């Protein structure tokens, strides 16, 4: 399956991965070989197979609805690059 | 009738009223100081694992049963990937392929000029997900402040089929959903605090056309009024574009309540690519028929059943029962009130009329009404036993609202008891007739509307305390009977 440099840049943007100009070509090769492998799996007849959501065949244990966490804001915020009035601060995301 | 048909589907997000969050043991309470309720799981710190809250599953099943939906035997969580500062993990845990609640339906009541009509609206699905935090852009100049208390709050997203045909139908649907989630006790439904939020998908098509038009999605609809206004605005906008030969762009639009308009937020043509995949941190959840039956056994009475019961049990009309039985707090008030008052129709009128206008004026909910239901019931029973007139009752009610106190005590202390001594009333009628010979002559010449004038004179003389029925009778007897 063919992938072009534009698609690579788009995927990188969606995942917020910075790509140098010459890196896109290298990833075209990597991604194409992965997709070639996926294409080979298409040959297998899976019509009678239940889709697998998780490799472990048990169901999710549930937690009783109780508050078990105490407030540790100060400890968490000690590691944050910028805080004020209890808020985490980040670069402005709207104009 | 317009040549265009409006097509609307709603996506409603309901915050579930659990003690703790959907995947962590942090408190799920509105209004805490910023980030006091954001635990390591909610912050998405490395090495943490989400564990699903049992109550959330039960609440979703409750909702599913209320709308006759299929409940999934196995349900799976998925990651919805996007970047925003109030989504610390870089993905939202949601559901895509195996939602907990499948197809269902909801009957809505659409008020119309020729009475109410009932319409069945399809529910496509309802799935569980976590809420994001809040980004605040005006807290610190030049920066965005992030409060992650809301991150991890359990949400049930309820998606309707595009079965709604007008803003009024959309509002009726949202009202019915609101009443149901409150009855089920799965959410407080407080739209001001974001407990229930609504996005509307709106498109129009030429009447008779079966293919759907291009839709826009309107975000930020946090009241019934805004939902109605935003849809009305959007339908008009789309009509203008199509009638002038343009074409609708598929996009997300934001409703601005202050300007009453919708405006473009982002284009969907560059469709968001959320790259959903099953969340490897969460195993599939199994729901057994026994679990579903256990939830069914504890289902409360729902608005529709209650409206029907009120019509049967209290003899209320369809309209009255819709007004007092739809919301469970109003219904509870009505039932406590009528148990004392006796007369259901009169009680319904008071609850919808005087009480509703006081609540509106004082900006109070019915569960914190300034007059308790039994106290209002005792006031209403004083109208029935002719102690006071309806008009005086309104005065007494106002005193109860502002100063508190019991109807009987207020009636006695202020001497508001209706004049029941017919002898005294007769004397008053005679003297008013004697004092107003001109009016009497006019009345007898056929100007019978003047009866109101005489009633007014006597009401003035008695401070409104004359029994209106008795007074009318006496006046008519005197005026019509000659002498």
The average confidence (pLDDT) of chain B is 91
Average pLDDT over chain A, rounded to an integer: 89
Where does the pLDDT of residue B130 fall: very low under 50, low under 70, confident under 90, or very high at 90 and above? very high
Mean pLDDT across A13-38: 88
- Looking at residue B267, what is its pLDDT? 57
Distance from CA of B7 to the nearest CA of A (A): 32
ipTM for the predicted complex comes to 0.88
Query: pLDDT at position B421, please?
Result: 67
CA distance B81 to B98: 18
pLDDT at B1: 60
pLDDT of residue B83: 87
For the residues B120-127, what does the mean pLDDT come to?
A: 98
Least confident of A27-36, B72-81, B98-107, B434-443: B434-443
* pLDDT for the residue A89: 96
Longest dimension (CA), chain A: 59
Rounded to the nearest 10 degrees, what angle do helices A5-14 and A23-41 cross at?
Answer: 90
CATH 1.10.20 for the A5-41 domain, yes or no:
yes
Lowest mean pLDDT among A64-78, B146-160, B262-276, B289-303: B262-276
Residue A87 with chain B: CB contacts under 8 Å = 34-35, 136, 139-140, 145-147
C-beta neighbour count of B80 within 10 angstroms: 20
Residue B270 has pLDDT above 60, yes or no: no
pLDDT at B34: 96
Are residues B27 and B19 in contact, defined by beta-carbon separation less than 8 angstroms? yes
How near does any CA of chain A get to the CA of B391, in Å? 52
**Above 60 in pLDDT, residue B482?**
no
Question: Which residue is closest to B77 within chain A, CA to CA?
Answer: A53
Which candidate, B189, B182, B59, B193, places its Cα nearest to that of B127? B59
pLDDT at B269: 44
Whether residue A91 and residue B143 make contact (CB cut-off 8 A), yes or no, is: yes
Among candidates B229, B230, B246, B226, which has minimal Cα distance to B238? Answer: B246
User: Could you tell me where the DSSP H helices lie in B133-280?
Assistant: 167-184, 224-243
In DSSP notation, A41-52 reads HTTS--TT-PPP
Task: Indicate if the pLDDT at residue A95 is higher than 60.
Answer: no
CB contact under 8 A, A65 and B145: no
Q: Which residue of A has its CA nearest to B270?
A: A10
Determine whether the interchain pair B34/A86 forms a contact, defined as Cβ–Cβ distance below 8 Å: yes
**Which residues in chain A have Cβ-Cβ distances shorter than 8 Å to B84?**
93
Distance of CA B5 to CAs B86, B93, B217, B231, Å? Answer: 38, 36, 17, 13
Q: What are phi and psi of B481, to 5 degrees?
A: -80, 0
The angle subtended at Cα A60 by Cα A54 and Cα A63, nearest 5°, is 150
pLDDT at A22: 83
pTM for the full model?
A: 0.83
Task: Sketch the domain layout of chain A as residue ranges.
Answer: 5-41
Given a cut of 60, whether residue B464 has pLDDT beyond it is yes
| Range B156-161 average pLDDT | 98
The pLDDT value recorded for residue B296 is: 96
Question: Token pair for residue A24?
Answer: 């896109």
Q: Return the closest-CA partner of residue B134 out of A1, A10, A93.
A: A93
Which one is predicted more confidently, A95 or B190? Answer: B190
CA distance B279 to chain A (A): 8
pLDDT digits (tens, 9 = 90+) for B314-357: 999 988 999 999 888 999 999 999 999 999 999 999 999 999 99
Reported in sequence order, the residue ranges of B207-312 that DSSP labels E, i.e. its strands, are: 216-221, 251-256, 261-267, 277-278, 285-286
Q: In this predicted structure, what is the pLDDT of residue B420?
A: 66
Q: Which residues lie across from B93 on neighbouring strands?
A: B79
Q: Say what the pLDDT of residue B440 is.
A: 87
Domains in chain B (CATH in brackets) are 4-294 (no CATH), 303-413 (no CATH), 422-480 (1.10.10.410)
pLDDT of residue A1: 67
pLDDT category of residue B169 using cuts at 50, 70 and 90: very high
Which whole number is the average pLDDT over B161-167?
96
């Amino acid at each position: 399956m063919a992938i072009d440099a534009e698609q690579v840049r788009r995927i990188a943007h969606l995942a917020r991965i910075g790509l140098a100009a010459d890196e896109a070509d290298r990833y075209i090769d990597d991604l194409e070989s992965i997709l070639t492998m996926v294409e080979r799996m298409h040959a297998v007849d899976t019509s009678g197979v239940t889709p697998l959501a998780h490799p472990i065949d048990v169901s999710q244990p549930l937690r009783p609805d109780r508050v078990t966490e105490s407030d540790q804001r100060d400890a968490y915020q000690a590691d944050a690059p910028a805080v004020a009035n209890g808020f985490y601060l980040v670069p402005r995301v709207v104009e | 009738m317009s040549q265009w048909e409006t097509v609307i589907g709603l996506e409603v997000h309901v915050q579930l009223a659990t003690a703790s969050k959907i995947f962590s043991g942090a408190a799920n309470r509105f209004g805490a100081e910023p980030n006091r309720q954001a635990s390591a799981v909610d912050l998405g710190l490395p090495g943490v694992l989400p564990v699903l809250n049992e109550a959330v599953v039960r609440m979703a099943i409750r909702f599913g049963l209320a709308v006759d939906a299929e409940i999934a035997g196995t349900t799976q969580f998925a990651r919805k990937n996007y970047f925003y500062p109030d989504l610390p993990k870089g993905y939202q845990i949601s559901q895509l392929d195996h939602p907990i609640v499948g197809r269902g339906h909801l009957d809505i009541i659409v008020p119309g000029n020729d009475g109410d009509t009932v319409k069945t609206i399809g529910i496509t699905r309802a799935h569980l997900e976590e809420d994001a935090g809040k980004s605040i852009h005006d807290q610190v100049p030049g920066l965005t402040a992030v409060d992650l208390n809301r991150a991890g709050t359990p949400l049930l997203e309820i998606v309707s089929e595009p079965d709604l045909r007008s803003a009024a139908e959309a509002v009726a649907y949202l009202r019915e959903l609101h009443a149901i989630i409150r009855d089920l006790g799965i959410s407080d439904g407080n739209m001001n605090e974001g407990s229930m939020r609504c996005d509307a998908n709106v498109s129009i098509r030429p009447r008779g056309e079966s293919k759907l038009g291009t839709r826009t999605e309107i975000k930020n609809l946090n009241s019934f009024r805004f939902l109605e206004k935003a849809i009305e605005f959007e339908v008009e906008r789309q009509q203008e574009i199509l009638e002038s030969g343009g074409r609708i762009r598929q996009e997300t639009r934001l409703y601005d309540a202050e300007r009453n308009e919708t405006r473009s937020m982002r284009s969907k043509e560059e469709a968001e690519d959320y790259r959903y995949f099953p969340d490897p941190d969460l195993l599939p959840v199994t729901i057994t028929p026994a679990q579903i039956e256990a939830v069914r056994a504890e289902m409360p009475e729902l608005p529709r059943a209650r409206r029907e019961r009120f019509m049967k049990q209290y003899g209320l009309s369809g309209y009255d029962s819709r007004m007092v039985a739809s919301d469970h707090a109003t219904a509870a008030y009505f039932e406590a009130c009528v148990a004392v008052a006796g007369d259901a129709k009169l009680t319904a009128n008071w609850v919808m009329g005087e009480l509703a206008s006081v609540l509106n004026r004082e900006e109070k909910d019915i569960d914190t009404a300034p007059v308790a239901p039994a106290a209002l019931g005792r006031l209403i029973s004083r109208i029935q036993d002719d102690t006071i007139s309806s008009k005086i009752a309104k005065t007494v009610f106002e005193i109860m609202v502002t100063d508190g106190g019991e109807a009987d005590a207020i009636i006695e202390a202020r001497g508001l008891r209706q004049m029941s001594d017919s002898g005294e009333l007769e004397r008053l009628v005679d003297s008013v007739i004697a004092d107003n010979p001109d009016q009497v002559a006019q009345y007898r010449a056929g100007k019978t509307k003047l009866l109101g004038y005489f009633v007014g004179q006597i009401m003035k003389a008695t401070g409104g305390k004359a029994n209106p029925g008795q007074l009318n009778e006496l006046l008519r007897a005197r005026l019509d009977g000659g002498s």
